[in-house]
Chain A
């Protein structure tokens, strides 16, 4: 079965929770993290990263 999303959750640590992350395109590395998205987008080229946010597993989310 083809999977179209890759897992990087094993890379997540408490320091990442609730922050923006810059992940490598192959999801193998967390290149940077910050509260401030602008800081990340100025440090990494969009072609080389995926910007996402790390949810805190201790928090219950209901949007």
Chain B
């Protein structure tokens, strides 16, 4: 089994927040489509059933979304009609890129949400928010 790799939650004091604000668990990743690379960060979200990317990231790759199958994404504030696509996802420092099924949606505050299908199929994740650390490792030996 691969070793756990540690990442930190980024926390800072904010007067406007009236206390300590900690960012979401983000890791450096690259998305790849047809030889183009988009270096970015993904938020690990165990409450998300599938990995999501923003429409403007799909536009960067020139993905013609209107030709893709539809998928409805339901969140706490409502639902949005997205499009299903397959892209290559590279988690930096964790081996080779792998194919990921993603939903492309417009209203996403982050570039990428790493969801159960198929980030959590590929990686084990340990959250230790109280210690300001989280850990990931490849699930496959």
Contacts and interface: CB of A to CB of B under 8 A. Distances in A.
B6 interface: yes
Nearest to B28: A5
B57 A55 contact: no
Interface in A1-37: 1-5, 7, 9-10, 18, 20, 25, 36-37
A24 B23 CA distance: 19
A58 B14 CA distance: 10
Interface of B: 5-8, 10, 12, 14, 16-17, 21, 23-24, 26-28, 36-41, 45, 47-48, 54, 56-57, 59-60, 75-77, 92-93, 108-111, 113, 133
Interface of A: 1-5, 7, 9-10, 18, 20, 25, 36-38, 41, 46, 49-53, 55, 57-59, 61-63
A63 B8 contact: no
Contacts of A3: 6-8
Nearest to B94: A4
Contacts of A57: 14, 16-17, 21
B6 A55 contact: no
Contacts of A20: 56
